[in-house]
């Protein structure tokens, strides 16, 4: 173990440089987020992941956000075990009818202010499962959604760009300007 630990001291980190926040995500958030709420949170967000019917593909790539390459915690983003500790619900999957109530109750259990991020094509519009008797559809059909990250599944770097937009000061300004004008 000592050898491994020592090696990681002298080797260059594998971590990717920070990507720029996604423009589309910034625009979507600019419309959705309130400035006051953003100020209260600062640059740190606690994320609760909810699989509402996913095939598990999105979960694999969300897991990858925690690996040494993407290292999501360096941005102040961390996954928490309870919705009661969360600022953000990261929801995957077409919402199945069997998971609808669990998703609604998780949303209610999350304290305000809170945001919902729909991850993956299925969460965005139900994907190839939309017409099933067992599926409600998109996440937005069940709880209000603030940010959508499409992909099947979205690559970790795409998710990182989207989530970074949640932390971006520019988004706050974008929200602030119309407020100041009013």
What distance in Å separates the CA atoms of residue 124 and residue 117, rounded to the nearest whole number? Answer: 10
Query: Does residue 4 belong to the site contacting other proteins (CB under 8 A)?
Result: yes
Contacts of residue 46, Cβ cutoff 8 Å, sequence gap at least 6: 78, 79, 80, 85, 86, 87, 88
Q: Which is nearer to other proteins, 32 or 125 (CB)?
A: 125
Confirm or reject binding of residue 141 to other proteins (CB under 8 A): no
C-beta closer to other proteins: residue 69 or 111: 69
Distance between CA atoms of 81 and 63, rounded to whole angstroms?
Answer: 14
110 near other proteins (CB under 8 A): no
Q: Does 19 bind other proteins (CB under 8 A)?
A: no
Give the nearest distance from C-beta 150 to other proteins in angstroms.
Answer: 14
CB-nearer residue toward other proteins: 96 or 171:
96
Q: Which of residues 155-174 bind other proteins (CB under 8 A)?
A: 155
- Name which of 166 and 175 has its Cβ closer to other proteins: 166
- Pick the binder of other proteins from 37, 41, 100, 141 (CB under 8 A): 100
Provide, rounded to whole angstroms, the least separation between the CB of residue 158 and other proteins.
11
3-state secondary structure the chain: CHHHHHHHHHCCCCCCCCCCCCHHHHHHHHHHCCHHHHHHHCCCEEEEEEECCCCCHHHHHHHHCCCCCCCHHHHCEEECCCHHHCCEEEEECCEECCCHHHHHHHHHHCCCCCEEEEECHHHHHCHHHCCCCCEEECHHHCCCCCEEECCCCCCHHHHHHHHHHHHCHHHHHHHHHHHHHC
The interface with other proteins within residues 50-79 (CB under 8 A) comprises 50-64, 66-69, 79
Nearer to other proteins by Cβ, of 86 and 175: the residue is 86
Q: Which CB atom, from 55 or from 165, has the smaller least distance to other proteins?
A: 55
- Residues lying near other proteins in the complex (CB under 8 A) are found at 1, 3-5, 14, 49-64, 66-69, 79, 81-83, 93-94, 96-102, 106, 127-129, 131-135, 152-153, 155
């Amino acid at each position: 173990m000592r050898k491994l630990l020592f090696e990681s001291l002298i080797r260059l980190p594998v971590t990717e440089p920070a990507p720029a926040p996604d423009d589309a995500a910034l625009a979507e958030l600019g419309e959705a987020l309130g400035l006051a709420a953003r100020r209260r949170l600062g640059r740190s967000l606690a994320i609760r992941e909810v699989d509402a019917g996913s095939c598990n593909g999105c979960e694999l790539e969300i897991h990858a956000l925690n690996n040494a390459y993407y290292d999501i915690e360096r941005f102040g983003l961390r996954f928490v075990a309870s919705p009661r500790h969360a600022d953000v619900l990261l929801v995957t999957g077409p919402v199945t009818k069997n998971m609808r109530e669990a998703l609604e109750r998780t949303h209610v259990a999350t304290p305000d202010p809170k945001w919902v991020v729909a991850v993956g094509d299925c969460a965005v519009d139900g994907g190839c499962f939309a017409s099933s008797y067992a599926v409600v559809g998109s996440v937005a059909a069940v709880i209000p959604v603030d940010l959508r990250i499409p992909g099947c599944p979205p690559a970790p770097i795409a998710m990182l760009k989207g989530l970074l937009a949640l932390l971006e000061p520019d988004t706050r300004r974008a929200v602030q300007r119309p407020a100041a004008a009013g």
